[in-house]
Amino acid sequence: MRLTQQQLEAHLWGAANILRGKTAGQDYKNYILSLMFYKRLCDQWENEADEAIAVLEQQQGRAFTEAQKAIFRARGEHRFNIPDGSRWGDVLAVSGNIGQKLTEAMRAVANANEELRGVFTVDWNQPAPDASGKKLIPNEVVHALIQHFDEHDLSNRSVPPDILGRAYEYLIKQFADDAGAKAGEFFTPPEVVDTLVRILEPRPGDTIYDPTAGSGGMLVHSADYLREKGHHATSARYFAQEMNWGNAAIGKINSVLHGLEATIAAGASTITDPAFLEAGQLKKFSLVLANFPFSDEFWWLKPEQQPDDKKRKDKLKKEVFGKEGYKDLFGRFGRGTAFRAPPAGYGDYAFILHIVASLADHGRAGIVCPQGVLFRGQPEVEEETGEFDDDGNPIIKRRKADDEHLIRQALLQARFIDAVISLPLNVFYGAGVPACLLILRKKRPPERHDQVLLVYAARHYRELSNQNELRPQDVMRILVHVHAYGDAAKVPELVARHSQRIREQINQREQEEIERLEAEYAGYAERLAQLDTTIAEARAGLARLRTQTEKTKAETALRKLESQRAKPAAKVTERDERIAETRRRAEDDRREVDQVGSELGTLYGDPDELLKHARVVSLDEIAENEFNLNIPRYVDTFEPEPRAEVKEALRALQKAENEVAIAERNLMKFLRDIGYETY
């Protein structure tokens, strides 16, 4: 039976529900994702064997015996090697200590395939931390998971690769929602990733790199963009590094499921131990996408060196930075390079400069940054000390410029910064600080050589219960501003192109969400339909009964059936309400796409109004502002108070006065009722 994407999603999330709460924190995501992938590998191995045998039987005009099939299965060609004794059936056949068998099987598969090294990082046989001799995940829980996954075949026969890939991404998103603040370590909202990818437009032949890859979303979205443009995913090459082994495993699985053949290094910091080197120098890439850890306090230390106390940190800082300043072994920043070393307490520019150093001569980059990188750090200043020399002249003290100011100035003077986009607050998991997108290009068009585009995109978003979300039409605003780069003549074509694509995207999301809801509530709908049929038959039968005893018994049974109907009926009503809300939201989004298109056309016909949203600024003006890129210095971000109509204000005042009078009367009555005298 072929599974729909929504059925598969419900099935996978059902497995997560079995394990939730049985492991430490959010670790359960790594167990579920790796088990799903292992089942997929095993099922696809069996499917490939079945297909090869069917071809041979057809060629030879005869059916093979089971013994012959077993020989062919072992000899057949497979995308991945699943060794004897490590297949799904082998795990399924075990009843005791399933966790040990499952861990051994996964490790055997990883060892048999170079591409799968580091994918299976979890230990299903891990002992509980209380030294009781029990397992962290009890045998019965592992058994329940194995039985759950055994319900469906996950090979191409039942689940095409594109559906499995999308379901895997959905599962990662669900885990991110569940993890809250911790999700920022492995997940970037897809709307933000999509914005970066569409600004930089991956091309065939690109080498695409993510230095802090998390679950690999940047790479997957780049491949999706290439497919959308009619190219194969492997027309580009993909590289990534991720310090967390568990997150890197998720990213590797993501890469395999989406057919990227990505090279993902794991277990070390990109800053202290960059994985991609050529002849001792950093490898160069044509496209870099990144969402690094904001303001990493210990960027200059390996993870195992990072201290717990300030005293130890200060000692290490003296050792690493020394009297002569920081010396980066890879020539990205610090002593002997074009860029100052970032300050010890803020690692943002360490990652930015690593990306700059990793760009090829015509390379481009899109980076998620805290907005602090736009303005932190003071320029060189001269200030009076309050003292005077022998001639009575004030003594002037010169204070050196801060490192971050000098780095930003150097990036601007090198003409690497092409655009900056401020984002709404709270669009990232666990990051309440204001964020922006920094767009870098090593070689820029001559007409943009001495300019920087600044976009204020913080006004437009959808407010959700625990965070904010960029809507498709909000992404459209950003893309039109960036691709137009101040040229009003380009806007009509950009609006038309993005409007059509975004409407299709909204339609697809609406349909997927409705199908997802229908799959989620399918059991209740089926139960309700069965009960309604049974109740209708019972009512029809009641009319045919003759004795009162028979009628009383049937009526009792009917009431019981009707009482059973209450829960599934309430759930189906809940489903219908959620579907209606999904449709309302999609209709609002479609309507707003048209409104945004009209607004953008109007904006680019009114320079004063455009200044409230986007502006192309000359490098001379930025220099006059001491290389401060804080967007409110250049774009009018002031939000005027809505103009109040006098009639409405008077009406509101009268209503408030009436409410006060009623409250006073009620208070006086209450006081009299309890025996207090009022005057």
pLDDT digits (tens, 9 = 90+) for 280-291: 899 999 999 999
In angstroms, rounded to a whole number, what is the distance separating the alpha carbons of residues 490 and 605?
12
Residue 478 resides in a domain:
no
Answer yes or no: do 26 and 104 share one domain: yes
Answer yes or no: do 264 and 169 share one domain: yes
Residue 479 resides in a domain:
no
Please state whether beta strands 359-370 and 435-441 pair in parallel, antiparallel, or not at all (unpaired).
antiparallel
List, in sequence order, every residue forming a beta bridge with 383; answer none if it has no partner.
397
Answer yes or no: do 149 and 86 share one domain: yes
Long-range contacts of 249-252 (CB under 8 A, 24+ apart): 249/30, 249/33, 249/34, 249/118, 249/119, 249/120, 249/121, 250/29, 250/30, 250/33, 250/172, 250/186, 250/214, 250/215, 250/216, 251/213, 251/214, 251/215, 251/216, 251/219, 252/116, 252/118, 252/119, 252/216
Residue 406 resides in a domain:
no
Domain at 79, CATH number: 1.20.1260.30
pLDDT digits (tens, 9 = 90+) for 341-351: 999 889 999 99
Answer yes or no: do 338 and 456 share one domain: no
In angstroms, rounded to a whole number, what is the distance separating the alpha carbons of residues 594 and 502?
10
pLDDT digits (tens, 9 = 90+) for 377-432: 888 876 666 777 777 777 777 778 899 999 999 999 999 999 999 999 988 876 67
In angstroms, rounded to a whole number, what is the distance separating the alpha carbons of residues 214 and 368?
13
How many domains, the chain? 5
Answer yes or no: do 266 and 322 share one domain: no
Answer yes or no: do 198 and 216 share one domain: yes
Answer yes or no: do 225 and 246 share one domain: yes
Residue 332 has pLDDT above 90, yes or no: yes
Residue 11 has pLDDT above 60, yes or no: yes
Answer yes or no: do 265 and 340 share one domain: no
Query: Of 62-71, 83-92, 420-429, 449-458, where does mean pLDDT reach its minimum?
Result: 62-71
Please state whether 615 falls in left (phi above 0), alpha (psi between -120 and 50) or beta: beta
Q: How far is CA 404 from CA 36, 332, 342, 432, in A?
A: 45, 15, 6, 22
Residue 539 has pLDDT above 90, yes or no: no
pLDDT digits (tens, 9 = 90+) for 123-144: 999 888 877 878 888 999 999 9
Answer yes or no: do 144 and 200 share one domain: no
Range of the domain at 337: 299-345
Answer yes or no: do 52 and 64 share one domain: yes
Percent of the chain whose pLDDT exceeds 70: 95
Residue 367 resides in a domain:
yes
Domain at 367, CATH number: 3.40.50.150
Answer yes or no: do 550 and 582 share one domain: yes
Q: Let me know: does 471 contact 462? Beta carbons within 8 Å.
A: yes
Residue 182 has pLDDT above 70, yes or no: no
pLDDT digits (tens, 9 = 90+) for 144-169: 999 999 999 999 999 988 889 988 99
**SS3 (DSSP) at 189:** coil
Residue 317: CB atoms within 10 A of its CB come to 17
Residue 401 resides in a domain:
no
pLDDT band at 200 (very low <50, low <70, confident <90, very high): very high
Residue 94 resides in a domain:
yes
